[in-house]
Amino acid sequence: MTTKTTKIAAVVIAAAVVIITIFSVVAALHYRDRWDDIINYESARNNLDAGIVKRLVWVESKNDPGAVSSRGAKGLMQIMPDTGLWMAEKMEISIDTQDLFDPKINIRIGTAYLAYLKNRFDGDMRLALIAYNAGEGTLRKWLSNPELTEDGALVTIPYRETRDYVRKILKVE
């Protein structure tokens, strides 16, 4: 390749990266606005802060209703299929695991599950978010570990992923 061809190729690649980045940002903003009404409604229904739920959706799925994690969590709030079915049964609604890709169903079940966890941990949203991310059983093990607690309160979150997750959602620096 000549120097001129190399420069042209570099410009084309740079332009493509810029276009893809812009598209990704616009798509994320579009999705965010699309789900606001549902998130506001379900957050109010479950006595949750809608801002926290919106940040959870962003952190979990980047506002993509079709998101699937490497572990199989689905949809906007990244609900594990077994958790979704269990929560739907508690809520007395009938779903199939594919319904977790439906934003209305996903947010309805996800907010109900987050409210359930918040209630299980005496209204402590930080602990509810830790349980949402790491699992309720994992959190209970951490809470019973004296190396991680002080006066019964969790002072150390062993998983970096969970520490970052909670910090991003609660906007704690």
Catalytic residues: 60
Closest CA to 52 of 95, 2, 92, 110: 110
Evaluate the CA torsion angle 37, 43, 44, 50 in order and state its sign. negative
CA atoms of 130 and 139, how far apart (whole Å):
7
CA atoms of 21 and 24, how far apart (whole Å):
5
- Compute CA distances 47 → 15, 27, 117, 172, whole Å: 45, 29, 12, 21
Evaluate the CA torsion angle 59, 158, 139, 83 in order and state its sign. positive
The size of the chain, in residues, is 173
Alpha-carbon radius of gyration of the chain: 20
